Structure 1
Amino acid sequence: MNYFCAVMRPVKVDDQQLIEGLNQVFRTKGYEGASLNELAEGAGLKKASLYHRFPEGKKQIGLAVLSYSSDWLTNNLYTVLLDRSKGPKERLEIVLQKISELYDEGKETCVLRSLSMEGGMEIFGEKIKSEMKSWIQHFTDFGLEFGLDEKISLKIAKQGLISVQGSLVVSNAMSDNSLFLDTLEEIRKYYMD
């Protein structure tokens, strides 16, 4: 009996690994720049397997990544902001830490930004806008808990989003993530001062 003739089954890629790999490719390449070969490689799949999981192609993959991103933000930021079993200062610290982890302390790009480049806004614009509105609404509601006036809370929520996104661009361009970390400290001061 020849034991070396056993058929090797392909390694299975779980959904979490799959979507994180796809997310990383879009983060670095953008929507137009990411080829199906790169997406398959990033997901740890053969191109045919990628098509099997996403028969509608790259747009379906982009929507899956955006859905994953939305779920991550909900589970790691918005749920924490709403969790009144902890005090507001503790929640703020947890959320700022999670933002730092999400962007690897400013070394990673935001997938919302990457997918909004080139032709991505035509395809994903409404979903991206919805995610940004959700960020603003949750942080506005959170600011009200600190006793901030609604107008001020809304302004801080918008400025926080702009600052995070802008600092990621500048930090990456200058290879200096301290700019991103400084932004998180500024957000902390918005609420604590």
Structure 2
Amino acid sequence: MRPQKIQDGELLAALSDVFRNKGYEGASLKELSEATGLQKASLYHRFPNGKKEMAEAVLNEMDQWVTQNIFKTLEQEGITPTIKLKNSLDQISKLYNGGKDNCIFRALSMQEGFDLFHDVITKGFAGWLKSFKSLGLSMGQSDQLAEKNAIQTLIDIQGSLMLSKAMQDTIIFKNTLKQIEERYS
């Protein structure tokens, strides 16, 4: 068997970039092929169910990364809530390339993508809310305040990503992460 031209991690990163920037409907097989450096036939060999399977693989990879690097950090025992927050905000910045990259959930929740990936997106956002609520509770916030802050945190992250992209100014995203840190101080 011939060696693969592109490793799985690189492949999923390239596919993710296309989906983040074009959404599900806008991502053509030609663009996915060009981004990965693979011919369409090779993409179908790796993903027999086509573009939907590619998007599912990207979502699965993203879920694993976020769970490992953000959720587990926010829920980790034995470190102070302040350190948990700082470490997770650093990872959030890394996930979104300092505010330059779109959220994959937003990109895949338009039109047909929403119907196809609704359950995964809903589960993903629920994970974000659960983890930030856990942080708030570990800081002594009431259940109601911890939930309120978790919701506002997710709104702030998502909104600042959209605004940063629209205004072509990542300072908006970076300042939002600072404001989130202040919210939990």
Does TM, normalized by the shorter one, top 0.5? yes
Structure 2, unaligned stretches of length 5 or more?
none
Runs of 4+ that moved beyond 3 A: none
Specify the alignment match of 2:88 in structure 1: 95
After superposition, the C-alpha distances for 1:57-83 in whole angstroms (9 at most, x for unaligned) are 111111111111111110110111122
Aligned length: 184
Task: State the SS of the aligned residue for 1:97.
Answer: helix
Match of residue 108 from structure 2: 115
Give 1:39-118 correspondences, 5 Å limit.
Answer: 39-118=32-111
**Whole-angstrom CA distance in 2 between matches of 1:85 and 1:146:** 13
Counterpart of 1:86, as a letter, is I
Q: Deviations over 1:26-70 (max 9, x none)?
A: 011110000011112222311111000111111111111111111
| TM-score normalized by the length of structure 1 | 0.92
How far 1:98 moved relative to its partner? 0.6
Partner Cα separation in structure 1 for residue 3 and residue 57 of structure 2: 23
Q: Identity rate of aligned residues, in percent? A: 44
Equivalent position amino acid for 1:179 in 2:
I
User: Partner residue of 1:178?
Assistant: 171
Taking the aligned partners of 1:126 and 1:84, their CA distance within structure 2 comes to 29
Is the CA contact (8 Å cut-off) linking 1:19 and 1:64 kept in structure 2? yes
Q: Find the structure with the greater CA-based Rg.
A: 1
Q: In 2, are the aligned partners of 1:36 and 1:47 still within 8 Å (CA)?
A: yes
Match for residue 7 of structure 2?
Answer: 14
Give the distance between the partners of 2:130 and 2:75, measured in 1 at CA: 12
What is the alpha-carbon distance in structure 2 between the residues aligned to residue 11 and residue 50 of structure 1?
11
> Which residue among 26, 35, 53 is the counterpart of 1:33?
26
Cα displacement (A) at 1:10: 6.9
State the partner residue of 1:6. none
Q: State the TM-score, normalized to the length of structure 2.
A: 0.96
1:138 lines up with 2:131 in the alignment: yes
Gaps of 5+ in 1: 1-8
**Alignment RMSD:** 1.2
Distance 1:164 1:71 in 2: 19
The CA deviation at 1:85 is 2.9
Contact 1:21–1:44 at 8 Å: present in 2 too? no
The alpha-carbon deviation at position 92 of structure 1 amounts to 0.8
- 2-structure distance, mates of 1:109, 1:77: 17
* Aligned-pair CA distance for 1:118: 2.2
- Looking at structure 1, the residues matched to 3 and 141 of structure 2 have their Cα atoms a distance apart, in angstroms, of 55
